[in-house]
Structure formats: structure tokens, C-alpha cells
Amino acid sequence: MFRRVIAGLILGPALFIGSFAWSGYLALRSVFDEDRTEKVAEELLSNDEVRAQLAENIGVAISTALPDDVPLTEAQIDAAALRVLDDERVTDLFLMAFGSTHRAFLGQGDAPQSLDLAPVIAAAREQIAVVSPTAAESLPESSEFVVELPTQRIPNASPVKTFLETSVPLMAVVSVVLVSMAFLTTSDRPSVLARAARWALGAAAVYLLFGLGVPAMLRAVAPDQVEVLAALLTAVLRETLVPSITLGIVGVGLLLASWVWPKRSRRSDSAPQPAPQPQPQRQPAPAQMQPAQRQAPRVSEPMTPASNPAMPPTVAQPVPVARPTPPPRPEPTAAPSEPTPFRPTLPTRSSPGDAGMPAWTDDSVPVEEANITWLPPHWVEGHGWVLDPADTRPIPPNARWVEGVGHVVPGPPPAS
């Protein structure tokens, strides 16, 4: 955002200075160009409406100078006036008068104070003599036709021309440099191109409208009265048309460039980018530790006592929830306030108080290796089948502990 504001502050004065430079450039190519004087005069003389107006004025002057008894019609006088305009002496007189006045405006000599119409009278006498020699002899001498020109108040614009010749190149360079700085500074370069394009199109449109639209409007409003003025404006501003069209083409190019220029994100480039989130390092899964001692294989012996019930591994009855093993009873000699320390025991068929401590406890009594012994359970009325405490096989999951009895396994009573 800050860079766009700075670019806008630079671009505004740059385009303002560019407008002055462009106007001064066109003025130097039109009004302040002394080489354009003869071209403008020749263009005026080649305009049909201007020639008709000049011929009419010359015809009026000839009619006024002729006596009343001269047998000449208005058509003959108008034809003679048109031929007068084609005479080189009249053309040179017109170019000299126009050029001298314009050069005086630019400070290059004095403006003519009067205009000698002797070449016009001489050419008119020659053209009238073709129709009527008597009428030609009745024309007055050429020395009597001297017209005073109102050139006393023509200003000297040479200081303005000198200032424009010095300042226009400097202002153009400053404008281009500032526009380049704004283009390089901003983070939104398409907007700079678009503003420069709008300025170029606007400046071209203004001068094209003034150079082409104003003369056309004058001819449409009052074609008979302002034709000479419209032709003069067209001739003077003709040199501004090509530069204006060129500037308009440049503006269209800048506008297209602003459309195709890649858009940047609205986020400022100066804002720090967030650091990437650290990814946790994946640790390899720890290898499963192998037991220190190899487990002894389980001896499978068939349990087929004649009088004892069979205990298949799959019982159709629902498995009751196993109750937790009751803690061992405290010794009679132990103090009531001191609880018996908890010691984990291995699964066994003996009572919890008679169980031996394993080797990984703090008890220093060594644990003998267990010898797997199979002993059949016995029936206890009111409880069920009670496992023998000396049986070293794993306790079934459906066994429950009964205080004073032992581990009881549910099952049908023995056959009588």
C-alpha cells in the first residue's frame, strides 16, 4: 500500500508536466514555426471557399474602379477576378503579406505597415483587356491602390518561443523519468500503465477535437461567414494531427499492456512471509524385545477322568465377569495401622497368602522352576468344582475365588 501511494504522488506531477511539454511541442510545430507560414498561406489559397471569397472581394474592387458606362457584366468581372488570383504576382503578394506579418509575430523583422496592390491592378487590367480593352483603359493607375494594414498592435512572441524551445525538451525528460520512477516504485504496475494510457488518449483526443472538430463546427454553424477562419485553423493545426494520432496509438498500446500485465497479489511484498511449520521427525518404531528365557512348551494331556466332569475349552454357558482377586489377609501380628504392602503375584491355584514371590520382586527367596502338574478338581457341594491348589496349570478364565474354598469352576455335579 505504501509503495502505491508513493507511486501515485510521483505519477501525478509527471503527467502534469507531460501535459505542458506536449502543448509546448505542438505550439512549436504550428503557431511558432516560421517555416509553416508559407505552407499555411498556400493552403489557404488552394481552398475553394477562400478563393471564392477573395475573388468576390477583388471583383467588388474592380467594379468600383470601373466607370458606370463600361459594358461589362458581373459574370465577366467575376471570371476576370478568378484569373487574377492565378497570377503569380498576386500569389507572391499574398504570401509576402502573410509571411511578413507572421515573422513579425515571432520577432523576426517588422510587420508591413501597408500593402501595395499594384500587382493586383496590373493583373486585373490584363484580364479585363481580354474582354474589353476600353474598360481596361478606364482602370486607374496602380500607384493609387495602397492599403494600410492594421499591424501596429501585433505582439512580439519571440520570448515565448525561446522559452518553449528551452523548456519543452527539459519538461519531456523530467516527465519520462518521473513516470519511469513511478512504474518501478509501485507494486501495482498495471495501474501506472492504465493512468499513463488515459492521459495519452485524453491529450490526443483534445487536440484532435480542436484541430478537426472546431473547424467542422464553425462550418456547420456559419458556413458563409467563418469559412476563412475555419480554413486558417485547419491549416495552422494540420501539423498537430499526426503527432496527436501517434500519441493516441501509444495510449492504446499502454492500455493493452495494462490489461495483459500479470496481476500481483494485494499482499505487500515487504511483509515477511511466515516461517514454515516444523515437521516432527518420524522416529523408527522400537524393535520388540525378545524374552530373556525361552518359554517352556505347554504339555497337553487329555483330561479324561472317569468320575470327573469334562472341561472342554469352549463352554456353551455365558462367561461370568471375572472378579478381582481379593487382597491377602494381614498377619495377626501386624499392626492395625500399618497396611500390608501389595505384592503382585503370578497366576496360581493356591490361596493368595500361600503364593510365592517372583524373581523380579525385592524378595530374596529364589523361585523354583514350576513343574506343570495336572490334578483333577473335586466337587464341593454348594460351590461347584474346586481346583486343586497343587495344580500348576493356568487358571481358567471362568474360575472365581471363594474365601476358604479356593478357585471354583462352574459345572454340572458328578453323576451319582
pLDDT of residue 176: 93
DSSP 8-state class, residue 41: H
DSSP 8-state class, residue 404: T
Report the largest interatomic distance among the alpha carbons of the chain, rounded to a whole angstrom.
Answer: 182
User: Residue 262 to residues 189, 191, 269, 341: CA-CA distances in angstroms?
Assistant: 9, 12, 15, 79
User: Is the four-CA dihedral 77, 78, 83, 84 of positive or negative sign?
Assistant: positive
pLDDT band at 334 (very low <50, low <70, confident <90, very high): very low
Domain ranges for the chain: 33-156, 346-416
User: Residue 24 to residues 28, 31, 59, 75, 155: CA-CA distances in angstroms?
Assistant: 6, 10, 42, 48, 19
pLDDT > 90: percent of the chain: 11
* Residue whose C-alpha cell is 465377569: 321
Section 235-243 average pLDDT: 80
pLDDT band at 324 (very low <50, low <70, confident <90, very high): low
Q: Look at 328 and 112; give whichever has higher pLDDT.
A: 112
pLDDT of residue 288: 56
Full-model pTM: 0.52
pLDDT > 70: percent of the chain: 66
Query: How far apart, in whole angstroms, are the C-alpha atoms of residue 97 and residue 115?
Result: 7
| Three-state SS at 407 | strand
Give 350-368 as a DSSP string: S-GGGPPPPTTSS--SPPP
User: Residue 172 to residues 7, 167, 168: CA-CA distances in angstroms?
Assistant: 19, 8, 6
pLDDT band at 325 (very low <50, low <70, confident <90, very high): low
| Three-state SS at 334 | coil
The amino acid present at 12, given as its one-letter code, is G
Query: How far apart, in whole angstroms, are the C-alpha atoms of residue 184 and residue 193?
Result: 11
Residue (of 29, 28, 40, 33) closest to 239 by Cα position: 29
* Exposure b/e, 292-324, CB count within 10 A at least 16 = b: eeeeeeeeeeeeeeeeebeeeeeeeeeeeeeee
- For the record, the C-alpha cell of 88 comes out as 503569380
Q: What contacts 232, CB < 8 A, 6 or more positions away? A: 40, 44
* Residue whose C-alpha cell is 494540420: 238
For residue 402, give the H/E element and its range: strand 400-402
Query: pLDDT tens digit string along 89-122?
Result: 888 887 787 777 777 777 877 777 666 777 777 7
What are residue 408's DSSP bridge partners?
Answer: 386, 400
**Range 299-303 contact pairs with CB under 8 angstroms and sequence separation of 24 or more:** 299/372, 301/374, 303/374, 303/376
pLDDT of residue 250: 92
Task: Tell me the average pLDDT of the chain.
Answer: 74
- For the record, the C-alpha cell of 390 comes out as 497343587
User: Is the four-CA dihedral 90, 95, 98, 99 of positive or negative sign?
Assistant: negative
Residue (of 167, 199, 194) closest to 183 by Cα position: 194
Q: Is the pLDDT of residue 199 over 80?
A: yes
